[in-house]
Structure 1
Amino acid sequence: MTNKQPMQKGKFSAFFTLVKKTKPSYGKLAFALTLSIVTTLVSLLIPLLTKQLVDGFSMSSLSGGQIGLIVLVFVIQAGLSAYATYALNYSGQKIISGLRDLLWKKLIKLPVSYFDTKASGETISRVTNDTMVVKELITNHISGFITGIISVIGSITILFIMNWKLTLLVLIVVPLAALILVPIGRKMFTISRETQDETARFTGLLNQILPEIRLVKSSNAEDVEYRRGKAGISSLFRLGLREAKVQSLVGPLITLVLMAALVAVIGYGGMQVSSGELTAGSLVAFILYLFQIIMPMGQITAFFTQLQKSIGATERMIEILAEIEEDTVTGKQIENAHQPIRLEDVSFGYKQDQLILKNISATIEAGKVTAIVGPSGGGKTTLFKLLERFYDPTEGTIRLGDDPIDSYSLESWRQQIGYVSQESPLMSGTIRDNICYGLEREVTDAEIEKAAEMAYALNFIKELPDMIDTEVGERGIMLSGGQRQRIAIARALLRDPSILMLDEATSSLDSQSEKSVQQALDVLMAGRTTIVIAHRLSTVVDADQLLFIEQGEITGRGTHHELMDSHDLYRDFAEQQLKMNADLENKAV
C-alpha cells in the first residue's frame, strides 16, 4: 500500500510533464476554466432567484424586472458556457496536436532496430487513439471536474445558510452517491484500459493484412484472415458489452439515489413548510440545489476514470519518447568519400547470442566494384545494413579511409550513398515524387528525365497518361516490379552518390531490361565505389573483387577467375548459376 501511492504520484507527475512538453496555451486554458467557474457560480444564483419568485408569487407581484433578470441569468450562463466549451476544445486540440508532433518527430528519428520489435499498427494506434484519450480528458472532463467541485461546495454552503437541518439530510446522499459511483469508475477504468490495448492490437492486425491483400488473395487466405479479424472484433464487442453493462447501471442508480433524496427532502421539507419553519420557495430552491449536488458527482467520477485512462495512454507515449533516437547531425562532415572502406573484424547479430556476421575483415577499394556473393542467408544484406548504418556492429569497426564511419554524422554519411534494394520501395505519390525523394533542392524535369533515361525508365514513363506526374499507388502497386525497380535506380542516379550500394538491383527485370539497366549501371559505376549483392553471378563476373560469404564468414576473396581456381564452393555455386542463366536464355529464345 505504501509503494502504490508514490507510484501513482509518479504517474500523475509524468502525465502532467508530458502535457507541459506540448507547450499548451495556458492563458486560453485558464480563461476557459475561469469562464466555466463563472458559469457555475451564475447557475448557483438560479435556485435563489426561483426561491424569491415562488415566495412572492402572485400575478400582482410578478414584475417584468424579475422575469427579465431570470432570462438574463440564463442567457449569460448559456453564452459563457458556449465560449468556455470552445476555448477548452481549442486547448485540447492544441495539446493533442503537440503530442502527435512530439510522437511523430520521435518515431521518424528512431533507429531501424526499434521497428524490428514493434508492430507498426500498434505504434500508429499510440499516435492516433491514445492521444485522443488525452484530448477527451482536457476538452470534456477537466471543466466538468472543476465546476462539479465548485457546484457541490457552493450548493452545500448555500443550503447550510438557508436551513442546516435539511442540509444534513441532503448530505447523507453525497457519500451514498460516492459509494455507488467510485467502484463503477474503477470498473470502467479497467474495461477502458483493456479496450485501448485490444484496439491497438486490432489496428495492428488491419495494418498488417490490408497492405498485403494481394498476398492474402493469391494464397486463398481470406477465410484465415477473416477469422483473425473476427476474433479481434468479437473481443472488442465483448469489452463493449461489459462497458455497456457498467454504464447501464450508472443512470438508474443515480436516479434511485436522487429520487430517494427528493422524497426525503420533500417529505421533511414539506413538514417544515407546514409548520412555518421553511417557505415554499426555500423548498423549491433546496430541490434545485440537490440536483446541483448529485449531477456533478457523475462528472467528478467520469473525470477520475478518464484521468486513469489518460495516464495509461501517456505511459505508452512516454515509453516511445524515452527511446534513444538516431543522432543524424553529430559528427564531422565527409570531405572526401573517394577512399577505401575497411571492415575490421566486424561481427553483428540482431540478438546478442545469435551472430549473423562473424569477424568480417575486407577492404572495398575506392572507385572499384566489389561484389558480395554467396548462398542465401549468409549475411550479405545484413552487411549492407551495417554499411548504411541502420545498425552498429556488435564488435569491430568499419572505416572510411582511416576514420571510423561513426565519427561522421549520419546525415553526411548517407548523403554519399545511393542505395537500391531488392524490394525497390516506393512511396505513395507520383513518379516525380519518388525519383526526387529525399532531395531538398529544386530538381528540374530535365534532370528527372535524364536519370530516368539512364535507368531505362523513360520509355515506359512517357507511355503513361500523366508521365512523371503519374500516381504510383500505395507502395507503388500501380507499377510492375521491373518498373518500380527502375524508378528506384533513377532515384539513386539523381543523388549522384560517391558510394553505390546495389542489393539485387536488377532482380525484378526481364532479360532485355536487365541488359539495358546493367549498361546504365556500368556507366554510373565508373569512378564510384560500388558494392553489389547479386545471386546471378553473370551480372558481377567482371567485378574488381568478389567476396564470398557463407554462414556469416568470408571464405573467399578475389576476382571471378581467381575464385574459380581456388574456391571449390564458389566454383560449384558459379557453375550452377551460369548454367541456370544459360537455360533461361535458351528458353527465352
Structure 2
Amino acid sequence: MKENVQSGSPSGSEPNSKSGRRTGSLKPFIRLIRETNPPKLMLGIALFMSVVTTLVSLVIPLFTKNLVDSFSISSIKPAQIALIIGIFIAQAIAGGVSIYLLNHVGQSVVANLRDRLWKKLLILPVPYFDNNLTGETVSRMTNDTAVVKGLITDNLTNFIGGIISIVGAVTILLFLDWRMTLIMLTAVPLSMLILVPLGRQMHRISKGLQDETARFTGILSQVLSEIRLVKASNAEANEYTSGKKGITNLFQFGLKEARVQAVIGPLISFVLMMLLVVIIGYGGVRVSSGALTAGDLVAFILYLIQIIMPMSQLTMFFTQLQKAIGATERIISTLHSEEEDHASGREFENAFQPMKLEHVTFAYENGETVLEDLNFTVEPGKVTAVVGPSGGGKTTLFSLVERFYKPVSGTIQMGTDPIDAYSLQSWRSQIGYVSQESPLTAGTIRENIIYGTNRTVTQAELEYAANMAYADIFINELPDKYDTEVGERGIKLSGGQRQRISIARALLRDPKILMLDEATSSLDSQSELAVQNALKNLMNGRTTLVIAHRLSTVVDADQIIFIEKGKITGRGTHEELFQTHKMYHEFATQQLRIKEHQFEGAAES
C-alpha cells in the first residue's frame, strides 16, 4: 500500500510546495528555532560572554600601541604585565564559558526539535508512511537536525563575536586613521559580490545533499532490515548497484559543495591578503611622513587581523546557514503534515451495537478502486468472516475499521453514529487486532505481550494470556522464558510462535471488538486447532471480524461475506454460500476436500 487517496497532504506534496515558496528564506528557520523554546537566559549569558571576549580582544591592540610608542625597559611595569596577563586569562575563561553554554543551547534546541519530530511522527496517519520511506524519515530526525545543531554550536558564537569584532575594530580604526579605514572598507562590497551568489548556490546544493542523504538512508534501512530476503534471492549484486548509485550521488554533491568552498575560501583570503599588503604599504608611507606613529600602524594591523579572522568565520557561518535552511525546509514539511487527532470526539463505551457499512468505497491515490459500495452489518457478539481471493481488499477493509484510512464515500457506523464521532484513542482501545504479519518489536516476549497496555500487568495475567493463546507451551521451554529476547521484528521466533505472541497480546487487551486477519495462517495443524479453541473462548460475547483464506477457520461463523475485486458477491452462512456461490463452493471443495457429488446432492435436495 504505497499510495492513498488522502496521502497528498500527509506525504508532503502541499508542504513541499510551501517549502518551494520558502526556498532560501531565513524567516521559517528562525521561527522553527524559536518554536523549540531555547533557554533564553543561558543563550543570553553565552552571547554576553562572547561579547565580553570580543571587547577584551579589541582593547589589546590599544595596549600594544602604547607599548610600541613608549617602549623601553624602564617603562614596563609589573602592574601592566599583570593586567595584560589578567586580560588574557579573563578572555580565555569567558570564551570557554561562552562555548560551553552555546553548545548547551544548541543541544537543547536539537533535542526539542527531535522531540517535536518524534511526537509528530507517532501521530501522523498511515498514508504518510505509505508514501515516505522509513530511512528517509530517520534521516530527517538525525542528519537534518544535526545540521541545525552544528550551526548553533559551532558557528553562532563566531558570527556574533565576528560582527562585534568587525564593528568595534572599524570604529576604533576610524579614530586612528579614517583614510586607511576607508581603503580597507572597499573589501566589503567586493566580498559581498562573491558571497551572495555562492551562498545561493550552496543552498541549492545543501538541499539536494540532504534529500540524497535521506534517500540513501532509506535504501540502507530497507536492505538491512530485509537482509535475509536479499541473501535468499541472491540479490547482493543488485542491492550493491542501488547503494553504489546513492554513494556516487552523495559523492557528486560533496564535490559540488567542495567546489563552492574552494572558491569562497581562497577568494576571500586573496581579497583580505591584498588588503593587508595595501594597508601595510600605505601605512608605512604614512609612518615615514609622521602622520602615524609606529604604534598606530601596529595597532592598525592588529585590528585588521581582527577583521580578517571574523570575515572568514562569517563566510563559514553563511555557508552553514544555507545548509541549515535547506535541512529545516524538510523538517518543517514533516511538522506541517496532516496528523491524526486522537482526542477529539466522544468516548467510545458501548461496543455491543451493530457495526454497519453503508455504501463504503475506497481507493488509493492515483489508483483503481479497492473497495466499491460495500453494504453489510456486523452483528454484536457474533462472528462475521470476510473471505475471497487475494487482493480483493479484505485487509484494506480492516484498515478502514481501524481508521487507518477514511472511505472515499460512504460511512461506517457503530449503532447510529459514524465511528469517527468517537475519539480515535478510545475507539482503538476497544479493538484487538491480530494481523497476518504478526509484528513484534525488538525486546522480550514479556514486553511484546504487554505492548500498548497502559496499566500494570501481573505475572498471573501474563501467563493466563499466554496459556489461552497456547504460547506458554514454547515459552516455558525457552531458557529465559518470558524474558527471552525475540530479536529485531521477532526474527528469533518462528512464524507460528510470533502469531501466538500476537494472539496473547490481543487476549491481554480484553477488547470488545476482535479483528483477526489470518490469525492462524502460520500455525501447523495441531497448533491451529489449539489456537482456534482459544479464539473461540475469546470470541464469546464479543463482536468479531475474521479474514481467512483457509475456510476451515470460518465454517462456524455467523455470517460470511465473500469479496471479489472489492465487491461483495455473496453473503450468508457456510452452508448457504456452499450451495449458492460458485467460487465459494470451489474454495470449499479444494480446501475442505468435499467431493463434488456432495454439492450436487445438496443442490438436488
TM norm. shorter chain > 0.5? yes
Tell me if the contact between 1:177 and 1:294 (Cα under 8 Å) persists in the aligned partners: no
Report the Cα offset of residue 20 of structure 1: 2.0
Post-superposition Cα deviations, 1:319-355, rounded to whole Å, max 9, x if no partner, equal 2222221111211122321122111111111237622
- SS of 2:369's partner is coil
Are residues 1:189 and 2:203 paired? yes
Report the Cα offset of residue 307 of structure 1: 2.4
Query: Which position in structure 1 is the counterpart of 2:75?
Result: 61
- Paired AA for residue 536 in structure 2: D
Inter-CA distance 86–459: structure 2 relative to 1 (3 Å threshold): same
1:28 to 35, 42, 45: 42
Q: TM-score, normalised by structure 2?
A: 0.92
Query: Which position in structure 1 is the counterpart of 2:302?
Result: 288
Query: Which position in structure 2 is the counterpart of 1:422?
Result: 436
Report the Cα offset of residue 8 of structure 1: 5.9
Tell me if the contact between 1:177 and 1:297 (Cα under 8 Å) persists in the aligned partners: no
Query: Which position in structure 2 is the counterpart of 1:516?
Result: 530
Post-superposition Cα deviations, 1:502-532, rounded to whole Å, max 9, x if no partner, equal 0000111111111111111111111211111
What aligned pairs does 1:235-250 form with structure 2 within 5 A after superposition? 235-250=249-264
- Paired AA for residue 514 in structure 1: E
What aligned pairs does 1:433-512 form with structure 2 within 5 A after superposition? 433-512=447-526
What aligned pairs does 1:237-276 form with structure 2 within 5 A after superposition? 237-276=251-290
Inter-CA distance 251–113: structure 2 relative to 1 (3 Å threshold): closer
Inter-CA distance 10–182: structure 2 relative to 1 (3 Å threshold): closer
Query: Which position in structure 1 is the counterpart of 2:599?
Result: none
Tell me if the contact between 2:393 and 2:566 (Cα under 8 Å) persists in the aligned partners: yes
Inter-CA distance 362–540: structure 2 relative to 1 (3 Å threshold): same
Are residues 1:139 and 2:182 paired? no
Between stretches 320-329 and 543-552, larger displacement belongs to 320-329
- SS of 2:492's partner is coil
User: Identical aligned pairs, as a percentage?
Assistant: 63
Post-superposition Cα deviations, 1:76-127, rounded to whole Å, max 9, x if no partner, equal 1111111111111111111111111111111101111111111111111111
Report the Cα offset of residue 288 of structure 1: 0.9
Distance, in Å, in 2 between the alignment partners of 1:369 and 1:291 is 83
Inter-CA distance 9–152: structure 2 relative to 1 (3 Å threshold): farther
Query: Which position in structure 2 is the counterpart of 1:366?
Result: 380
What aligned pairs does 1:147-162 form with structure 2 within 5 A after superposition? 147-162=161-176
Inter-CA distance 580–88: structure 2 relative to 1 (3 Å threshold): farther
Between stretches 198-207 and 263-272, larger displacement belongs to 263-272
Post-superposition Cα deviations, 1:181-208, rounded to whole Å, max 9, x if no partner, equal 4444333333222211111111111111
Report the Cα offset of residue 161 of structure 1: 0.7
The total of aligned residue pairs comes to 577
Distance, in Å, in 2 between the alignment partners of 1:287 and 1:182 is 27
What aligned pairs does 1:43-62 form with structure 2 within 5 A after superposition? 43-62=57-76
Distance, in Å, in 1 between the alignment partners of 2:366 and 2:256 is 44
Query: Which position in structure 1 is the counterpart of 2:539?
Result: 525
- SS of 1:579's partner is coil
Distance, in Å, in 2 between the alignment partners of 1:531 and 1:515 is 19
Query: Which position in structure 1 is the counterpart of 2:603?
Result: none
Report the Cα offset of residue 276 of structure 1: 2.1
Query: Which position in structure 1 is the counterpart of 2:337?
Result: 323
What aligned pairs does 1:333-372 form with structure 2 within 5 A after superposition? 333-351=347-365, 354-372=368-386
- SS of 1:79's partner is helix
Inter-CA distance 538–301: structure 2 relative to 1 (3 Å threshold): same
Tell me if the contact between 1:431 and 1:468 (Cα under 8 Å) persists in the aligned partners: yes
Tell me if the contact between 2:69 and 2:295 (Cα under 8 Å) persists in the aligned partners: yes
Post-superposition Cα deviations, 1:224-269, rounded to whole Å, max 9, x if no partner, equal 0011111111111222223233333444334333332222222222
Query: Which position in structure 2 is the counterpart of 1:100?
Result: 114
- Paired AA for residue 284 in structure 2: G
Distance, in Å, in 1 between the alignment partners of 2:224 and 2:506 is 29
Distance, in Å, in 2 between the alignment partners of 1:66 and 1:181 is 42
Distance, in Å, in 2 between the alignment partners of 1:552 and 1:276 is 96
Are residues 1:390 and 2:404 paired? yes
Distance, in Å, in 1 between the alignment partners of 2:367 and 2:210 is 35
When the two chains are superposed, the root-mean-square deviation of aligned CA atoms in Å is: 2.0
Give 5+ residue unaligned stretches, structure 2. 1-19, 596-605
Query: Which position in structure 2 is the counterpart of 1:204?
Result: 218
Query: Which position in structure 2 is the counterpart of 1:170?
Result: 184
Query: Which position in structure 1 is the counterpart of 2:11?
Result: none
Q: TM-score, normalised by structure 1?
A: 0.94
Distance, in Å, in 2 between the alignment partners of 1:340 and 1:477 is 39
Are residues 1:574 and 2:563 paired? no
Are residues 1:88 and 2:102 paired? yes
- Paired AA for residue 318 in structure 2: F
Inter-CA distance 9–414: structure 2 relative to 1 (3 Å threshold): closer
Report the Cα offset of residue 22 of structure 1: 1.3
- SS of 1:456's partner is coil
Distance, in Å, in 2 between the alignment partners of 1:571 and 1:7 is 59
Name which structure has the greater RCO, CA cutoff 8 Å, separation 6+. Answer: 2
Tell me if the contact between 2:385 and 2:559 (Cα under 8 Å) persists in the aligned partners: yes
Query: Which position in structure 2 is the counterpart of 1:538?
Result: 552
Inter-CA distance 408–234: structure 2 relative to 1 (3 Å threshold): same
- Paired AA for residue 525 in structure 2: S
Inter-CA distance 51–60: structure 2 relative to 1 (3 Å threshold): same
Inter-CA distance 442–558: structure 2 relative to 1 (3 Å threshold): same
Distance, in Å, in 1 between the alignment partners of 2:354 and 2:483 is 39
- SS of 2:365's partner is coil
Query: Which position in structure 2 is the counterpart of 1:231?
Result: 245
Query: Which position in structure 2 is the counterpart of 1:584?
Result: none
Inter-CA distance 63–251: structure 2 relative to 1 (3 Å threshold): farther
- Paired AA for residue 16 in structure 1: I
- Paired AA for residue 91 in structure 2: Q
Report the Cα offset of residue 474 of structure 1: 0.8
Distance, in Å, in 1 between the alignment partners of 2:310 and 2:63 is 21
Tell me if the contact between 1:122 and 1:204 (Cα under 8 Å) persists in the aligned partners: yes
Distance, in Å, in 1 between the alignment partners of 2:137 and 2:51 is 38
- Paired AA for residue 504 in structure 1: E
Tell me if the contact between 1:338 and 1:366 (Cα under 8 Å) persists in the aligned partners: yes
- Paired AA for residue 377 in structure 1: G
Tell me if the contact between 1:174 and 1:294 (Cα under 8 Å) persists in the aligned partners: no
Query: Which position in structure 1 is the counterpart of 2:234?
Result: 220
- Paired AA for residue 478 in structure 1: K
Distance, in Å, in 2 between the alignment partners of 1:183 and 1:405 is 55
Distance, in Å, in 2 between the alignment partners of 1:528 and 1:69 is 85
Post-superposition Cα deviations, 1:258-314, rounded to whole Å, max 9, x if no partner, equal 332222222222222222221111111111111111221222232223222222222
Post-superposition Cα deviations, 1:152-198, rounded to whole Å, max 9, x if no partner, equal 11111111111122222322333333334444433333322221111
Between stretches 301-310 and 378-387, larger displacement belongs to 301-310
Post-superposition Cα deviations, 1:515-572, rounded to whole Å, max 9, x if no partner, equal 1111111111112111111101111111111111111111111111111111112111
Distance, in Å, in 1 between the alignment partners of 2:23 and 2:64 is 44
- Paired AA for residue 171 in structure 1: L
Post-superposition Cα deviations, 1:206-229, rounded to whole Å, max 9, x if no partner, equal 111110001000000001001111
Query: Which position in structure 2 is the counterpart of 1:306?
Result: 320
- SS of 1:438's partner is coil
Tell me if the contact between 1:501 and 1:530 (Cα under 8 Å) persists in the aligned partners: yes
Tell me if the contact between 1:181 and 1:298 (Cα under 8 Å) persists in the aligned partners: no
